[in-house]
Amino acid sequence: MSGALREPWRSLRRQREAAAFGTWIFLGSEAMLFAGLILAFAVMRALHPAGFILAGRETEVALGTANTAILLTSSLTMAVAAEAARADLRRATLWGIGLTLALGAAFLAVKGFEWSSDLEKHLFPGEGFALAEPSAHIFFALYWIMTSLHAMHMLGGMGVVAWLGWQAWRGDRPLQSPAFEAAALYWHLVDIVWIVLYPLLYLGGRAP
């Protein structure tokens, strides 16, 4: 228990709650950032249903589904890492963190293949865009903004998780530190954002 407790908290429990509270406030601002984009998507979809259905059929549903499964699994390993750190289980913490980083890297790799396939199919809005429907431009503008912003959040999350993993590995940070749980909260929010993006970007217009 010793080592993790910092000023001004009198107990680790209070410190942990404060760290989680601060993280939740930050997550609220993150959620509003993505909510603005999702709102723009929802409004445009309401105004241009035909173009959005047409454009939605062009995204790579297999890669998007694989990435959703990868990210859901990374949330599992991150949750295990955070709980294991709290229970002072060093090996399980390090394994959880390592698997989370590997799954995060796998997500970004699949995303990279998907983006390059999108570019080959001329699905980047602008000159030579593949779809004639004007509102398909809007769909793909939002697709590129939302997926790249989400990927940046993945990179940021992986940076934080890798840093904590390094500290845990070296023994610089006690496993009781609330930082593991705070990083896990952030990771799960990035997962939730993807959970919402998945039906919007990949499942629209698939039904006959």
Partner 1 sequence: MRRGLGEDVPRTLSAILQHVLPVWLALLALLGASLALAYAPLHGLNGVVSLGIAAMKAILVAVFFMNLRRPDPLLRLAGGASLIWMSFLFALTFADLAARAPETQPQAGQGTGSEPPMRQPF
Binding stretches for partner 1 (CB under 8 A)? 13, 17, 20-21, 24-25, 27-28, 31-32, 35-36, 39, 42-43, 45-49, 61, 65, 68-69, 72-73, 75-76, 78-80, 83-84, 86-87, 89, 92, 181, 184-185, 188-189, 191-192, 195-196, 198-200, 203-204, 206-208
The C-alpha atoms of residue 47 and residue 207 are separated, in whole angstroms, by 20
Tell me the closest approach of the beta carbon of residue 108 to partner 1, in angstroms.
19
The C-alpha atoms of residue 2 and residue 176 are separated, in whole angstroms, by 9
Of the two residues 39 and 109, which places its CB atom closer to partner 1 in the complex? 39
Phi, psi at 63, each rounded to 5°:
-70, -40
Tell me the closest approach of the beta carbon of residue 193 to partner 1, in angstroms.
9
Tell me the closest approach of the beta carbon of residue 69 to partner 1, in angstroms.
6
The C-alpha atoms of residue 178 and residue 176 are separated, in whole angstroms, by 6
Tell me the closest approach of the beta carbon of residue 119 to partner 1, in angstroms.
25
Of the two residues 39 and 119, which places its CB atom closer to partner 1 in the complex? 39
Query: DSSP for 95-129?
Result: HHHHHHHHHHHHHHHHHHHHHHHHHHTT-SSSTT-
Gyration radius of the chain's alpha carbons: 20
